Amino acid sequence: MADLTALGAALGSRFDTGMRRAERMHGGDLSEVLSVELEDGRRLVAKAGPLVSREAAMLTAIAAAGAPAPAVLGVADDFLFLEYLEETHGSEAGWRALGSALRGLHEQRGETYGWPDDYAFGTVAIANATAVSWPDFWAERRLLPFLRHLPADLADRVETLCDRLNDILPAAPPPALLHGDLWTGNVLFGPGGRAWLIDPACYFGDAEVDLAMLTLFGQPGRSFWESYGPLSPGSGPRRAAYQLWPALVHLRLFGEGYRSLVSSRLDALGV
């Protein structure tokens, strides 16, 4: 568990009260998340990590776009303090709420692709320097950085794909505000059919990136798609290209068990 002495000091500096108890919450593969009860009875969530100030800025941007996200209560040292939200299982109403929220998020537009700060998933750096061409951004910021970490056969196939991205991806899709890591574990469903976006890795890019990630490990229900609205024609090849990046992240972080996922995405793209 996180250093409770450090956590207590950070809470005291931010909320002017002590900590009654802290319990580890589920999830947190790459960072530790704690449910905290303060001595004055308030309950909140504490997240520990070196980039919590950047996550706070992303959550603030999501909320400013009108999409539901836990309120940022403050940052102190290496701790991010968030509103505590009651969690339930996903329901049809919850998926419908997520579809509407995600459509609203994607309607928030940037001037170009990227984000003001780089980010990371654990030891995997995420470069977010801006680019004018979307295929260039996807190749140079998302796929090519993995080449030196891949077996030679996979590296060759990824490099071949990057040479073909101009034929697969749109040159200049609207730069939509993306959650950036939108698998179902980063959606918190709550009572009354509510859904909040958590654990973002935001940047501006093609809206289909979030949809591709959301369908990599499962399939949202019909109510989600009805609520989100129509997609551009021919999304299949684009989806495989967008799913390749999280597949590469998983391979690097969690090992050979994800090699087949990477290979299947490349197979789908014909490389």
- Residues that are catalytic: 181
- Report the C-alpha gap between 128 and 110 in whole angstroms: 13
Could you give the CA distance from residue 142 to residue 271 in angstroms, rounded to a whole number?
A: 17
CA distance 46 to 219: 30
Residues 143, 158: Cα–Cα separation, whole Å:
7
Tell me the residue length of the chain.
Answer: 271
Beta bridge partners of 22: 36
Q: Closest Cα to residue 183, out of 57, 85, 87, 90? A: 90
- Token output for 258: 């994800």
Tell me the C-alpha distance between 20 and 39, whole Å.
Answer: 5
- The SS3 assignment for 82 reads strand
95: CB partners within 8 A, 6+ apart: 195, 220, 221, 223, 224, 227
Residues 6 or more apart whose Cβ sits within 8 Å of residue 156: none
The residue ranges of DSSP E strands in the chain, in sequence order, are 19-24, 32-38, 43-48, 72-76, 79-83, 119-121, 124-126, 176-178, 187-190, 194-197, 203-205
Q: Can you tell me the distance from the alpha carbon of 186 to that of 19, in angstroms, rounded to the nearest whole number?
A: 27
